[in-house]
Structure 1
Amino acid sequence: MGGERTESAKIGLPPVARADATLFILGSLPGDVSLSAQRYYAHPTNQFWRLVGSAVGEDLDVLSYEERLRRLADRRIGLWDVIASASRRGSLDQAIRSPAHNQVERLRHKFPELRALAFNGATAAATGRRLVGVHERLRLIDLPSSSAANTLLFAEKARVWAVLAQFVA
């Protein structure tokens, strides 16, 4: 049984946001590298920081993690995930089993200036839309996953992610 990976419980990261956040970007559940580092989008092949940077006109991927978070806060962008914990072998969303969800539906109450929720990938979108429901004040945006597992070209992803610019300071 050498090299066999077992399914294990994964617990996500806490939300990162200032009280005046106007946009939250919600992933599914951080991958193993991110969980180990306790940092959002820590895997070097994940394009998240390049995509958000492209949308807001900053080179976020060259900054330290702490500075990245500061720049997002300055732009009134929050980060979180729709899944709080789950069993999963590896890091792929398709392997998620028995998920417990974060209370993302409460974001619109805790962040009164919130204007949009952007879902990073299909799993985040399907789960997040179900949790949040319809709300006339809140725009829900489905984004192509920033994961390297999504083989869409970066330029195509960036074109879609550019919609985020209208919701940030």
Structure 2
Amino acid sequence: MTNAVHCIGLPAQVNAGCRVLVLGSMPGVASLQAAQYYAHPRNRFWPLMAALTDIDAGLPYAARVRAVQAVGVGLWDVIGACDRRGSLDTAIVRGSEVPNALPALIAQLPRLQAVACNGGTAYTAFVRFIHPQLDPRAAPLPVWSLPSTSPANAAWPLPRLQAAWQPLADVVAG
């Protein structure tokens, strides 16, 4: 087993028009190296956003981020820093996680209608670290545990992911 590496996540990509906040757990190695959310070439996040929101997944990264923000989607992670052995969520060293300041961010998003956790680890971390700190007025906010877009979740092809993630499209269309 390789030694754990201390990982520091990426900055939030959120604007005041955010209606759905998509939260990963911690970006993988490819994303951290590229300083881009969902940078692994086999991650289905950007093709999924294209299918759900009609953004162009072929745009340069900064334009893709602006496009999802324009339709009301924000991006961040539950974990802001941690020790990890590789890219997988299962490689995160339990007890090393430092959560992002999500309660403060959520309080500043007046149009926020839902939080979408990209994978079970993100959802579990949200419930463990973030939910207990939320302002009681934010507590009724729906928090969805959605199947991961990671290539490690190969059992979920894009059409199946699209069906599971449809609530996001419904909110941003609404």
TM-score (norm 1): 0.91
2: CA distance, partners of 1:17 / 1:99:
22
2: CA distance, partners of 1:5 / 1:61:
34
SS in 1 for 2:126: helix
2: CA distance, partners of 1:19 / 1:7:
36
SS in 2 for 1:62: coil
Q: Aligned residues: percent identity?
A: 39
CA root-mean-square deviation? 1.5
Q: Which residue of 1 aligns with 2:160?
A: 156
Check the 8 A contact 2:49/2:57 in 1, yes or no: no
Does 124-133 or 143-152 show the bigger shift? 124-133
Check the 8 A contact 1:15/1:79 in 2, yes or no: yes
Partner deviation per Cα, 1:36-88 (whole Å, 9 max, x = no partner):
11000001010000112211133x32111011011111112110000000111
User: Is there any run of 5+ residues in structure 2 with no aligned partner, and where?
Assistant: 133-137
SS in 2 for 1:45: coil
Q: Which residue of 2 aligns with 1:141?
A: 144
Q: Which residue of 1 aligns with 2:135?
A: none
CA-CA distance at 1:104 after TM superposition: 1.6
Q: Which residue of 2 aligns with 1:78?
A: 74
Partner deviation per Cα, 1:113-161 (whole Å, 9 max, x = no partner):
111100000000111123125722x121111000010022221111101
2: CA distance, partners of 1:50 / 1:80:
18
The list of structure 1 runs, each at least 4 consecutive aligned residues, that deviate by more than 2 angstroms after superposition, is: 105-108
Q: Which residue of 2 aligns with 1:12?
A: 9
Q: Which residue of 2 aligns with 1:62?
A: 58
TM-score (norm 2): 0.88
How many pairs were matched up? 164
User: Is there any run of 5+ residues in structure 1 with no aligned partner, and where?
Assistant: none
